[in-house]
Amino acid sequence: MGSIEQNKGAVSKLLAQVQEGTTKYLEYFSSLSLPEPSYEEGDHLDPMKPLPVEVQAARDLAVEAADELQHLLLGPMGLLLEAPGDQYYMVALQYIYRYQIHKHVPMSPPGAETTFEAIAAAANLPATDVARFMRIATSRHVFREPRKGVVTHTAASLHLAMNPMLEAWIVNIAEQFWTSVSRTVDATEKWPGSEEPNQSGYSLAHGTYENPFDLIKRDDAVHKRFVDAMSFSHMHSSFSVEHLLNGYDFSSAKTVVDVGGSQGAVATALAKRFPTIEQIIVQDLPDTVSGLEASLPTDLKPKIKGMPHDFLTPQPYKGADIYLFRWILHDWSDKYCVQILRSLIPALKKGAKVLVNDVCIPEPGQLSVKADRVLRFMDISMKAFNNARERDAEDWVRLFARADERFKFVGITVPQGARMAIMQAEWVGEDA
């Protein structure tokens, strides 16, 4: 959905769009014999499964129009006064996770109740604090207070209690990113224009001058939570590896190097979809790839191999047809992305392809205000965390040109339904 024009009669137009999109969306629920969406426990659509294209479009129309309608009705001053409230919701989520409040509310039978006093006793917390923080959450329909002092689950809080990977995502935002975002402006003042990962909002929030990734890996529990959070975000259909497989034809490649390929999920999907690929090398740090081959299906073990490699150092695997970076470069500032791309050069043969599967921010005005806001939040989150960034098309072209003029930028593809684009460059220099 494009940006909704703000002009005379905009409120009526937006109201009509809310009605149109909602009607079509509810027709889908009816076709599945599901009740209408509610905040309560019960039958709901699986949020991780893709909706039919026309149903997703209808929901987007309604949600995005409702978002802009709210902004218009608030008025200019109300719009400014509304924004700071989100920080208090994040504080509530942080408190709920820190003390595992969601685990102290009974999950069965449906509608089971407890009290703020009982939760406080179980968690060894002051009852007044439990009530205050939980009531912020209930204002967003996370938990419900049917009678004063009594609390029960809603569909949202039940998801939090029952889905450990969702919990990891929420707490990763609350404990790692949100605290870092709150110190980002301070970091820009202390280190103007810095591209160093240890001179960020995270550095100030956590009192460290270490690379955030290094610090996270030092604590096994924090590292597992971080990995689970990233895995959860990949589970959403818009981030599915299927978009990469559908958006680029790997059939002509004999060798593919998946740089920063973790534990081989993408390599496995590639090998299954494109059996003509003869060799897939999965590169990552030693502790990440150490058990990769043992975990592979028996029939894929001859084809997929793990290789310890730090992508900031020269590429050891020479002569591959494709070097793939999936959701890697957005974790790094331009300075280090250039270093990563230049590190490939000693291994490149003429005609080798470099594929980057990452976010490509559309031009202003191509998305709804709400959808654009999500991408801008992602961008600032990356800056806050380690001075990394999300990029638009011009940024990607400029990045390859800065790395070496022998990288010929071929183009950008955005598969339908995907949040990540496929950026393609070709090495037109001579063989290494």
Active site residues: 330
Distance between CA atoms of residues 224 and 306, nearest Å: 21
- Is the preceding peptide bond at 109 cis, omega within 30 degrees of 0? yes
Backbone Cα Rg of the chain: 24
For residue 238, the SS3 value is helix
Burial class (CB in 10 A: 0-12, 13-18, 19+), 110: exposed
Say which DSSP state 299 is in: G
Say which DSSP state 74 is in: H
Distance between CA atoms of residues 264 and 256, nearest Å: 12
Contacts of 47 (CB under 8 A, 6+ apart): none
Retrieve residue 348's tokens: 């490149």
Distance between CA atoms of residues 254 and 276, nearest Å: 7
Cα dihedral 182, 186, 191, 197 in deg (nearest 10): -10
Provide the pairing of β-strand 353-358 with 421-427. Answer: antiparallel
Distance between CA atoms of residues 202 and 385, nearest Å: 5
Distance between CA atoms of residues 150 and 346, nearest Å: 65
Helix (H) or strand (E) holding 352: none
Residue with token string 């590292």: 223
Retrieve residue 180's tokens: 């870092």
- Closest of 91, 82, 260, 83 to residue 173, by C-alpha: 91
In degrees rounded to 5, what are phi and psi of residue 198?
-105, 20
Query: Is 131 within 8 Å of 121 (Cβ atoms)?
Result: no
Handedness of CA 372, 377, 382, 388 (dihedral sign): positive
Query: Is 229 within 8 Å of 177 (Cβ atoms)?
Result: no
